[in-house]
Structure 1
């Protein structure tokens, strides 16, 4: 394990309980149906068998659970053992419909052409070698399979002065509206220290991702930079005003 990957794992291990609560709240809100509708809009149409879904960086299991509730065959992987335990507990009645595995997103232990759909959220910015991970994800997709990656320029502000100003304005806006600040409630200093050394903290995305996915061999790229408007509540929209969630999707 690389030193940076170890730091990322330790950070998320400590955040497992808090992040778990966030996911459980999502499961009991409008977000559950919003995400199901959004993902199914792009998912490949498969006949005569179940859609095979891989959730990479499942965390406490939100995507895996909602996909299992659609009747799909779901595999969920995460590098952090604590997150996988939370995901198994959260899955409830869907636990037997999800295969949970501890795995490094850069090196997937699956055969080529295994999954029809790969979904991932807030993972790629954590990766030490994102191009390598994208190549792996392309490898395990079936022909015509789709990758749906939901992420944001979460820590661009550690390198970009203008983004830092926008980030600080988000903090003031959050305070003015009397919302919980999602940054000050976590160990921001620890994550910023890690983020400075992560390659995607320097990139302007999703333009970077689209270029890389085409290089790797994805045939068709789709981008939506307004995902937050569909799946975030008002508190999130204010907290993350300068870091809107995007979707970058690729078809093999």
Structure 2
């Protein structure tokens, strides 16, 4: 068994090992209707908030880009895109997945809890399935708010992943999901992953035991954000496979706006 000096080292090692499998998932999304599904959802939110701006006038930061799915579809829509991830192999996969679009995206290795950008750098911040995995999520939110411009928009898509490790009701829901999955016609999304290693990491991440998105809304409001949540965004963006695999942990959207001073 590998020995790690700290949580960050363990986390990076895990996601480095997950890079190929995670990249394959992103490639499937880019080759399927999911590309259009997510493009519509993101464009709708951004256009509603900036009705007088064209995509070319809007600077977007994709935090925890992984193999690049959000960054790629946003760049194809014409937005100015920066994309960051803490894992070097994920960024390498993102560049490969982007193909000719890679030159239109600024990919950078960076810690989501300590961003190397100036205050007020971005109009929009997007993220998917990241915050649950952070060791200091409140610190991360503070950084994200810092680099947003006034009236900037935050769109964070996440779920109560691994809450079953802490909550009996969630555990029952997780077991029901696994049972339903075994009799379904969709693949098990955990195939090829080290579930024990991921659970070991989840036990060290504070958000695994929190009730979300309530926690997120409370924290964002302490930073002066106007914040709201859509607990049913999964109905717009999830495939049949995702719905069966993760029925008890539906994806939510945390949406925040940085108030004017």
| Smaller-chain TM-score bracket | over 0.9
Query: Does 1:134 find its partner at 2:141?
Result: yes
TM-score of the two chains, using structure 2 as the length reference: 0.93
Higher mean displacement: 81-90 or 36-45: 36-45
From 217, 229, 233, the equivalent of 2:235 is 229
Q: What secondary structure does 1:53 align onto?
A: strand
From 78, 82, 90, the equivalent of 1:71 is 78
Q: What secondary structure does 1:71 align onto?
A: coil
Instruction: Report the CA distance shift for 1:111/1:61 in structure 2 as closer, same or farther (over 3 A).
Output: same
Mapped partners of 1:106, 1:42: distance in 2 = 25
Mapped partners of 1:222, 1:124: distance in 2 = 16
Aligned match of 1:151: 158
> Shift in Å at residue 178 of structure 1?
3.2
Aligned match of 1:116: 123
Structure 1: 5+ residue runs without aligned partners? none
Deviations 1:188-225 (A, max 9, x none): 1111111111100110100100010001111x212111
Deviations 1:92-116 (A, max 9, x none): 1211110000000000000110000
Number of residue pairs matched by the alignment:
251
Deviations 1:45-97 (A, max 9, x none): 15375210000000000000000001111000000000000000000121111
Alignment RMSD: 1.4
From 9, 32, 53, the equivalent of 1:29 is 32
Q: What secondary structure does 1:229 align onto?
A: helix
From 209, 219, 242, the equivalent of 1:212 is 219
Q: Which runs of 4+ in 1 moved over 4 A?
A: none
Aligned match of 1:172: 179
Mapped partners of 1:181, 1:37: distance in 2 = 27
Query: Does 1:42 find its partner at 2:45?
Result: yes
Mapped partners of 2:191, 2:20: distance in 1 = 16
Query: Does 1:86 find its partner at 2:116?
Result: no
Instruction: Report the CA distance shift for 1:2/1:251 in structure 2 as closer, same or farther (over 3 A).
Output: farther
Q: What secondary structure does 1:15 align onto?
A: helix
Q: What secondary structure does 2:57 align onto?
A: coil
Aligned match of 2:8: 5
TM-score of the two chains, using structure 1 as the length reference: 0.96
Aligned match of 1:52: 59
Deviations 1:221-251 (A, max 9, x none): 1211112211111111000000000000100
Mapped partners of 1:47, 1:85: distance in 2 = 31
